[in-house]
Structure 1
Amino acid sequence: MFESLQPISYAVVSIFFFISSITTLLRIYARGYLVRSFGLDDWCMFFILFFNAGQQIILYYFLHYGAGLHLTTVFTTHPEWLTNLTYALFAEEIYYIWMHWVIKMAFLLFYLRFATTRTFRCLVYGTMGLNTIFSIITWLLYVLQCMPLDAIFHPAAHPKAKCVDRAVLAFAPTGFSAFIDIAILILPIQPLWQIQVSVRKRLTLIGILSLGSLVVLVSMLRIIVLVQFEKNIDLTYTLGKLIIISSIEIDLAIIAANAPSLKIYWSKYISRPNTPTRKDQYESITLSTMEGKKVLSQASSCHISSSNKSGARSNMISPEIMAEEADIGIAISHERMLGELTRGSQEALWNSEDGIIVTSSVGVVVQDKPRQEAGDLEANYYVFDKE
């Protein structure tokens, strides 16, 4: 056993805060400037950048006033620190639930980007409601845990105070949080599997979102530490363990929430082929932006060819290449998609209900016939065939 957990606590808290902050900044840049698809989920993570800084201040405050040291050491050298830690614990309880609420809402708002069915949207909104209700219940538990509230900080002055059992305060909020985490983990599997991209890329995105399972695992480990904390087993030393596990839990949740947006960098700078097709671009951007109703379901093309009298063709773009180039499907916004498709085909039609674009594929064939007098020109000199 370490004589002091403070060096490890400072290192873990600082490293994980740095990594989560970098991923948040990368997300903001990618969604705001690279693909220009900044949504409500991104705003949540933008504010988390500042909220998490506040969380770090509280954790450093704990460590400054003896968290991670053995209780006997603190009680012998600085007994007044115990009161400071009690006030900080109450503030952390309120703030910690707020952090979790915002991060979970960021996850769920991201899911609405690819919510193409009413059932899935209802499930997402229902989970949002549960997340909010559980958070409010937890806040009420914390604020009303003792009557009067001052009994939390000065128990000796209120011998007849009525307080909620500490086990309820510890494990009820953890159970609520774990339930929402599991729901967030399970919700997107089916709709993501139905996205119109390759199986490999569907599995990739599901794998990215599955990073949230690490948060569930850390939450379970946090329960073990909470059991020790509630039994007052070397209170300040156990608080050091709780700081480590709580910091990892929060920052892993932030990293997992940012992970889908970081796919933009992978597709743009690392795994991009030498000559990417529009289909590659479509799948890559769709995996990172996920605008549900804007996902392109079908697009065809227009090819123009010229034939001489022997039937040989020149200056021809093959239907396969044109179809690939027309498969733009940039799922960012209604207006941007219309603009891209209009340049490829003037006959593009947009159905706002199911997000399907239907275009006609028209082949124009110009036949080179022997020179004739004006009166002898045949009616089918110019043949327009609709394929």
Structure 2
Amino acid sequence: MGKSIEGRDGEGLTHMTIAVRIIVLILAIATTIVCVLRLYLRKFVIKRFGLDDWLVLCALIGVDLFSALAYIITYYGLGQELQNVSVDDLAVFLTLEYASQCAYLVIAAAVKTSLLVFIMRLFPTRFIHVAGKSLLLFIAAFTISGTLALVFQCRPVQAAYDKTIPDASCYPTETSYAILMMQGVIMFVLDVMILVLPMRPIWQLQMPLKKRLLVIGLLCIGFTACVAALVRFSTLKFTNDTTNFTYSASTSLIWMEVEFNFGLMSGSLSSLRKLFKVHAQFSSADASQGESSQFTNLEPPRSRHSRLKGGITKKTEIVRVYETSESQEHIAPMNGLGETTKTTNAYEVRANSTNL
């Protein structure tokens, strides 16, 4: 066990080990980029950093730490035949595999909580809030109880990963398999419920059909996480595998990675539309500078008075909107003048005129 991590690849890599590393790296990089862009948008462009953003940050840290664990464990036998794994490496493998089992519900709960709070902020209706809070309470209670059941699966606790401890008492393999399967089924059902929750409010938005379908499509990326959780059921048989579990556990870990990363990305991708829209519209405004100078100064709404024939004063009020909410924005003219409109555009310049 004295070898460095870098020196372990000299002993030979299997195709499964390489596949795990590639998938883990791609998913971790993609998720980090998407979430960082979303957080940048909220903090520096929209300048509204809410609770859901903090939860996304916490979930991102948790998912990336899990990805690091998944990558490191490949240096200690994951994806290899059990007979080719040394005793020292196997001891480390069992410790990391135990940690990944105990962390599953915690990471999954962090991802689901961030998505739920995001949906509750977008659609502040009574139904969404009641359903969202109910799901949050269930997730919290289930995560705590389920994690404790895995942490204390052996007596003493160390016997879960240290097979040299004599007179240890652990769950039968059938019980461990049943617990993991039950947790996976419940998490799958929660994924479906969370993703279905905002579909009706999105469909009722006053926006073009194409945009509604786009928003639904972006959120439906989370269904990939549901599929991953579903496929993972068939991979949990590694808990009953006593002959080659270092190899069979790799597929379960891959689907856990897919579930976590796609679940986290699904709530952030819909926000990135606004980032590119704002950038494009700011660029367009800069390109047209000079053509209509009355709209180029970024300053608070103001009134202009001009004298018309017959002593009638014309008052022009310019209303600027630099951002919108995630669903709809009501642009109200100043002092009750003009008309009220609905828009989904960010950075809109609008002029309302009234003759007095």
TM above 0.5, yes or no, is yes
Contact 1:114 1:191 in 2 (8 A): no
Distance 2:204 2:308 in 1: 42
Q: Which amino acid aligns with 2:137?
A: G
- Does structure 1 residue 13 correspond to structure 2 residue 4? no
Cα 1:96–1:269 shift into 2, 3 Å = same
Tell me the distance in 2 between the aligned counterparts of 1:126 and 1:12.
34
Residue pairs, 1:32-71, within 5 angstroms: 32-71=43-82
AA paired with 1:267? K
Aligned-residue offset at 1:57: 2.6
Question: Post-superposition shift, 1:212?
Answer: 0.7
The AA in structure 2 aligned to 1:172 is: M
Partner letter of residue 99 of structure 1? I
Q: 1:6 to 1:162 in 2, by over 3 A?
A: closer
Contact 1:23 1:255 in 2 (8 A): yes
Question: CA shift at 1:158, angstroms?
Answer: 4.5
Contact 2:195 2:223 in 1 (8 A): yes
Shift in alpha-carbon separation, 1:236–1:255, aligned structure 2, 3 A: same
Alignment of 1:238 with 2:248, yes or no, is: yes
Deviations 1:115-159 (A, max 9, x none): 332122101111111111221121121123223323323456445
Task: In structure 2, list runs of 5 or more residues that go unmatched.
Answer: 1-12, 286-302, 338-351
Separation (CA, whole Å) in 2 of partners of 1:36 and 1:316: 32
Cα-to-partner distance string for 1:26-50 (whole Å, 9 max, x where unaligned) = 0111111111121111111222333
User: Aligned partners of 1:327 and 1:198: how far apart in 2?
Assistant: 23
Distance 1:118 1:163 in 2: 43
- How far apart in 2 are the matches of 1:116 and 1:48? 23
2:213 pairs with 1:224: no
Would you say the 8 A contact 1:147–1:163 is kept in 2?
A: no
Task: State the match for 2:355 in structure 1.
Answer: 364
Map residues 331-342 of structure 1 onto 2, 5 A cutoff.
331-332=324-325, 341=332
Q: Could you tell me how far apart the structure 2 residues matched to 1:269 and 1:154 are?
A: 55
* 1:196 partner letter: Q
C-alpha contact (below 8 Å) 1:31/1:38 kept by paired residues: yes
Per-residue deviation, 1:56:
2.6
Note if contact 1:192-1:206 (Cα within 8 Å) is conserved in structure 2. yes
Alignment match, 1:264? 274
Q: Distance in 1 between matches of 2:283 and 2:37?
A: 22
Structure 1 residue 225 displacement after superposition: 1.4
Letter in 1 for 2:117: L
CA separation of 1:316/1:181 partners in 2, compared to 1, >3 Å: closer, same or farther?
same
Find the aligned partners of 1:66 and 1:162 in 2 and give their Cα distance. Answer: 23
Please show how residues 325-336 of structure 1 align to structure 2 within 5 Å. Answer: 328=321, 330-332=323-325
Residues matched between the structures, number: 309
Spell out the pairing of 1:1-387 with structure 2 (5 A cutoff).
Answer: 3-74=14-85, 78-155=86-163, 157-159=165-167, 161-163=169-171, 165-232=175-242, 234-269=244-279, 328=321, 330-332=323-325, 341=332, 344-347=333-336, 363-364=354-355
Larger radius of gyration: 1
**Is 1:68–1:240's contact at 8 Å kept on the other side of the alignment?**
yes
Q: Relative to 1, partners in 2 of residues 1:4 and 1:229: Cα closer, same or farther, differing over 3 Å?
A: farther
Residues 344-364 of structure 1 deviation map (CA, whole Å, 9 limit, x = unaligned)? 41238xxxxxxxxxxxx9953
Q: Aligned equivalents of 2:281 and 2:27: distance in 1?
A: 27
Displacement of 1:189: 0.7
Two-structure CA RMSD over aligned residues (Å): 3.5
Counterparts of 1:306 and 1:150 in 2: how far apart (Å)?
Answer: 86
Distance 1:258 1:117 in 2: 21
Deviation by residue 1:156-175 (Cα, 9 ceiling, x = unmatched): 64457252512123212111
Q: TM-score of the superposition, structure 2-length normalised? A: 0.75
Any conservation in 2 of the 1:305–1:363 contact (CA below 8 Å)? no
1:18 deviates by: 0.8
Letter of the structure 1 residue corresponding to residue 355 of structure 2: V
The whole-number CA distance in structure 1 between the counterparts of 2:275 and 2:225 is 24
Q: Deviations over 1:162-218 (max 9, x none)?
A: 525121232121112111101111100111222232332222211211111110011
Listed one character per residue, the Cα deviations across residues 80-122 of structure 1 (whole Å, up to 9, x for unaligned) are: 2222222112211222222111111110111111333212210
